[in-house]
Amino acid sequence: MKKYNNILTHGLFWLYFFSARWILIDKNYFESSAYPFTYLIKLLSTYGLYSVLFYLMYFIFLPKLLLVKRVLLFVISTFLLGLFVFHTESSIWSGLEWDKFLYPEFDNPMHQLYDILQVVFFALALFLWGKWNNLDKRRKLLENEVKESELKFLKSQLSPHFLFNTLNTIYGLSIYNSPNTPNAIQELKNVLNYIEEYNSKNGVLLGTEIENLKSYAAINNLRFENNVNFNISVDNPDLKIEPMLFLPFLENAFKHGNNKKNSNVFIELEQKKDDLTFKIVNEFSDIKRKDNVSGVGIENVEKRLQILYPYSKISIKKSEVHFTVFIHLKDLYR
């Protein structure tokens, strides 16, 4: 594709250059010439001379001199090459007379000087444009590689973090010989299936993400007996999204919320077309329950949102009694 783009760009330049020169200069001379065929041969030779000027600049002078900062040598070489083209064109139009090469004669020498400067300018412009385009592609490729590496790192953080908190909850049940421990282990199976899917794919289905939220809530409810209220409205449960965007906030609702019996956690999730909103509100407690990996989740989500959903919005508010998180994802089909 790059090769064809270069050919097209160069072709458009020569089409412009030759057609403009023909219309402004050569057409009148050709029509008034006593020997039009001879004139045409000389004209094509001149076009070839300008092509040599262009590609010597493009492939040798610019990359070998200017690009390596040999500026003075580049200026001198360009001047001498332009001078050679100017003298050679005079010789071509005179029938290759040596005298006309040594002492150029033109009806209007400014036309030739303008053409030479125009070719040099476009060679420089197209060369710099090509280099800038290559640098821009490399920059974007590097940015994508950095983003992908960062996402893989964030992803590798979340799986053990998520699993640690789930096992911690089951461990808490087992200490007190809770009859709910077997049910928690069954829900853990769903969690492990989710983690396996999470680690093997670039995204998960929205429906799967919702079921995982419910499984995690069910495990924690066996221990804390919160009222987790889900209000779900989804048009397309098969929509793929980045996994574990919402789970850390549900984790926080249990870890840092008021887990007295019948305390409430409200979760709203609505998806329409390529728009998704998530809101969670839980009663807040000043008694913090922290673990060794606390704080990984929310920071992780915020970083991934910046990378994957640049048009997303996240709002986290804490009042005296409530902790509220709102996430708005846009352009999910991009």
For residue 231, give the DSSP letter: E
**Residue 215 one-letter amino acid:** S
pLDDT number for residue 236: 92
The dihedral sign for the CA sequence 122, 128, 132, 138: positive
pLDDT number for residue 266: 93
pLDDT number for residue 97: 75
Partners of 313 in beta bridges: 328
Which residues of the chain are modeled with pLDDT < 50? 4, 289-294
pLDDT number for residue 334: 62
**Residues 6+ away with beta carbon under 8 Å from 314:** 301, 302, 305, 325, 326, 327, 328
CA distances from 185 to 170, 180, 193 (A): 7, 9, 13
Q: What are phi and psi of 5, to 5 degrees?
A: -65, -40
Strand, helix or coil for residue 206: helix
d(CA 190, CA 161) in angstroms, rounded, equals 16
CA distances from 72 to 56, 108, 250 (A): 17, 30, 66
pTM over 0.75: no
**Residue 36 one-letter amino acid:** P
d(CA 236, CA 11) in angstroms, rounded, equals 48
Helix axes of 181-200 and 206-224: crossing angle, nearest 10 degrees: 150
pLDDT number for residue 293: 40
pLDDT number for residue 29: 61
Q: What is the CATH number of domain 147-329?
A: 3.30.565.10
d(CA 315, CA 302) in angstroms, rounded, equals 10
Residue 180: CB atoms within 10 A of its CB come to: 18
**Residues 6+ away with beta carbon under 8 Å from 121:** none
d(CA 332, CA 309) in angstroms, rounded, equals 8
Strand, helix or coil for residue 196: helix
**Residue 237 one-letter amino acid:** P
pLDDT number for residue 291: 46
**Residues 6+ away with beta carbon under 8 Å from 272:** 233, 235
First to last CA, the chain: 24
pLDDT number for residue 285: 65
- The CA-CA-CA angle for residues 143, 144, 146, to 5°, reads 65
pLDDT number for residue 206: 92
pLDDT number for residue 134: 75
Residue spans of the domains in the chain: they are 2-107, 147-329
**Residue 122 one-letter amino acid:** F
Residue 12 in tokens: 């458009």
d(CA 210, CA 269) in angstroms, rounded, equals 9
d(CA 243, CA 240) in angstroms, rounded, equals 9
pLDDT number for residue 326: 94
Residue 106 in tokens: 């033109």
